[in-house]
């Protein structure tokens, strides 16, 4: 019997045969995969920082404002950093409302569950200028039974209107009726329903829309004082107006101020300020815009925190480690590209616009590469020159030529790294993936060499084991024969 196992022996020798190659491939693969993971982490960190820049930019200015309404039931207001401090008085005499009209099948000249005129087109004159919606009644008959239901009409209108008018089915006393809602408030969204002959529907619809546009213009300028019927002359003016379309009417400057009319209840005519009227006022409502020092500091601190988070992420990826302490180095330790990235970001923070820099506003660099905000110095400088801070920080934008200030410069530079098509990170990751592909091929070659060596060793040592067994059996046989001869 053999004194060793051919299988385990062949395996050990085959592993020894490819050991050096296997160790090198394992090391290279692990190191390269670590870099891929690290670059992905850097991509995420840069993306997070860019999002923070865009969020700050979207505020319009880091210098925050607050809008206070004298009566919260009368109006609500929101403000951006571009608004000027001051008080604004509004006297609201009318709120904007949206038209809502109800039609029975009889109003439309269509008896329920009976045949309908096949050559008729429904026209709804609606929305801005000479706009209109057409619905061929024959096409609205989805099941082709020669009859129309309210549901079929509503569905056809909704498919044709693109949200300009919405149709729904209302059941009143067991009878279904067609409810039409304007797509928005104000006279410009008022509508009227007509029935015309399909043979000349296009021309008729255009004329009806032109006439309706003139009617709406008359309602807006006051030459027409009463809203026409919900249904045009072709259906005898039938239909019930549940809610009339009307514009918001208010005076800026209080009861004796300048009158304004608009389709929406939200007024945005003052730069940076948005006021939404909620009720007709018996006395003017006042909106006061003032600086919000706490929010301004919070905005600036959010920028500082976002930058420091990015710096710390880069520090972790490039850490030197401590072999004696058992702390591994970062996957990008010694990486010149990341070092350049960090240095350039730091340089961009020192950008000067109009003779001022972030240092003037109390933002200073720390020994570890992070930045800190001196709240007192910041508050004093903002109070003295808030507009300069807005210009200094500038704006991000999807279009490079519209980017300004520190925020715009940071966005532009970071994009050279993070752009999904042309960025430096993409180029490096592609290169690392090519390396991993090559290492995978090297591994396939090692596996082939291992299999060949294993099979060769297995054959050799199996033969040797068989020979050893044969020799052992022969020795036992001879021992037995000689032992028998000695006995006799």
The mean pLDDT of 357-380, rounded to a whole number, is 94
pLDDT of 488 higher than 70: no
Q: Give residue 484's pLDDT.
A: 63
Neighbouring residues of 33: CB distance < 8 A, sequence distance ≥ 6? 436
Neighbouring residues of 145: CB distance < 8 A, sequence distance ≥ 6? none
Helix (H) or strand (E) holding 250: strand 248-252
Distance in angstroms (rounded) separating the CA atoms of residues 202 and 154? 21
Structure tokens at 273: 């300020």
Q: Give residue 267's pLDDT.
A: 97
pLDDT per residue as tens digits for the range 302-336:
999 999 999 999 999 998 877 777 788 888 888 89
Distance in angstroms (rounded) separating the CA atoms of residues 240 and 186? 18
By three-state DSSP, how is residue 68 classified? Answer: strand
pLDDT of 209 higher than 80: yes
The mean pLDDT of 336-353, rounded to a whole number, is 93
Q: Give residue 59's pLDDT.
A: 86
Distance in angstroms (rounded) separating the CA atoms of residues 62 and 82? 10
pLDDT of 185 higher than 90: yes
Q: Give residue 457's pLDDT.
A: 86
Q: Give residue 114's pLDDT.
A: 64
Distances (CA, A) of 126 to 182, 217, 230: 8, 13, 12
pLDDT band at 142 (very low <50, low <70, confident <90, very high): confident
Distances (CA, A) of 47 to 42, 141, 344, 477: 8, 53, 17, 82
User: What percentage of the chain carries pLDDT values higher than 90?
Assistant: 63
Distance in angstroms (rounded) separating the CA atoms of residues 324 and 166? 73
Q: Give residue 117's pLDDT.
A: 76
pLDDT per residue as tens digits for the range 70-97:
999 999 999 887 788 899 999 999 999 9
pLDDT band at 403 (very low <50, low <70, confident <90, very high): very high
pLDDT band at 139 (very low <50, low <70, confident <90, very high): confident
Pairing of strands 371-373, 120-126: unpaired
pLDDT of 51 higher than 60: yes
Q: Give residue 129's pLDDT.
A: 59
Q: Between these two residues, 110 and 422, which has the higher pLDDT value?
A: 422
Distance in angstroms (rounded) separating the CA atoms of residues 457 and 338? 49
pLDDT of 372 higher than 80: yes
Distance in angstroms (rounded) separating the CA atoms of residues 284 and 257? 10
pLDDT of 123 higher than 70: yes
| Positive or negative torsion for Cα 439, 444, 447, 452 | negative
């Amino acid at each position: 019997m053999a004194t060793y196992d051919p299988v385990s022996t062949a395996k050990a020798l085959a592993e020894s045969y490819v050991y050096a190659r296997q160790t090198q491939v394992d090391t290279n693969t692990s190191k390269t995969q670590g870099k891929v993971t690290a670059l992905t982490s850097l991509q995420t960190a840069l993306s997070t920082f860019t999002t923070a820049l865009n969020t700050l930019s979207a505020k319009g200015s880091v210098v925050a404002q607050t809008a206070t309404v004298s009566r919260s039931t009368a109006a609500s207001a929101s403000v951006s950093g571009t608004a000027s401090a001051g008080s604004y008085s509004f006297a609201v005499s009318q709120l904007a409302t949206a038209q809502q009209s109800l039609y029975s099948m009889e109003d439309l000249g269509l008896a329920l569950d009976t045949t309908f005129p096949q050559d008729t087109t429904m026209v709804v004159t609606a929305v801005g200028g000479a706009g209109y919606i057409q619905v061929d009644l024959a096409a609205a008959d989805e099941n082709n039974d020669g009859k129309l239901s309210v549901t079929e009409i509503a569905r056809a209108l909704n498919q044709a209107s693109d949200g300009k008018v919405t149709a729904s089915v209302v059941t009143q006393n067991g009878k279904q009726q067609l409810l039409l809602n304007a797509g928005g408030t104000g006279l410009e969204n008022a509508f009227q329903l007509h029935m015309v002959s399909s043979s000349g529907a296009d021309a008729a619809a255009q004329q009806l829309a032109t006439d309706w546009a003139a009617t709406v213009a008359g309602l807006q300028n006051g030459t027409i004082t009463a809203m026409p019927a919900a249904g045009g002359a072709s259906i005898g003016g039938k239909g019930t107006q549940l809610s009339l379309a009307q514009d918001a009417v208010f005076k800026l400057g209080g009861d004796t101020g300048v009158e304004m009319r608009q389709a929406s209840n939200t007024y945005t005519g003052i730069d940076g300020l948005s006021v939404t009227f909620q009720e007709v006022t018996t006395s003017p409502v006042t909106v006061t815009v003032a600086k919000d020092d706490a929010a301004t500091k919070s905005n600036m601190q959010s920028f500082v925190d976002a930058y420091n988070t990015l710096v710390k992420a880069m520090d972790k990826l490039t850490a030197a480690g401590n072999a004696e302490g058992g702390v591994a180095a970062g996957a990008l330790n010694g990486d010149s590209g990341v070092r350049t990235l960090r240095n350039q970001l730091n340089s961009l923070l020192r950008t000067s616009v109009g003779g001022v820099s972030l240092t003037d506003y109390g933002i200073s660099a720390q020994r570890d590469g992070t930045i800190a905000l001196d709240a007192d110095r910041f508050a004093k400088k903002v109070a003295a020159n808030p507009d300069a801070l807005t210009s200094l920080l500038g704006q991000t934008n999807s279009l490079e030529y519209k980017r300004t200030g520190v925020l715009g410069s940071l966005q532009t530079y970071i994009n050279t790294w993070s752009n999904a098509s042309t960025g430096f990170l993409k180029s490096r990751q592609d290169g690392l993936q090519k390396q991993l592909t090559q290492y995978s091929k090297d591994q396939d070659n090692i596996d082939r060499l291992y299999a060949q060596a294993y099979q060769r060793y297995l054959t050799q040592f199996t033969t040797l084991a068989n020979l050893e067994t044969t020799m052992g059996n022969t020795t036992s046989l001879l021992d037995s024969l000689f032992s028998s001869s000695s006995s006799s």
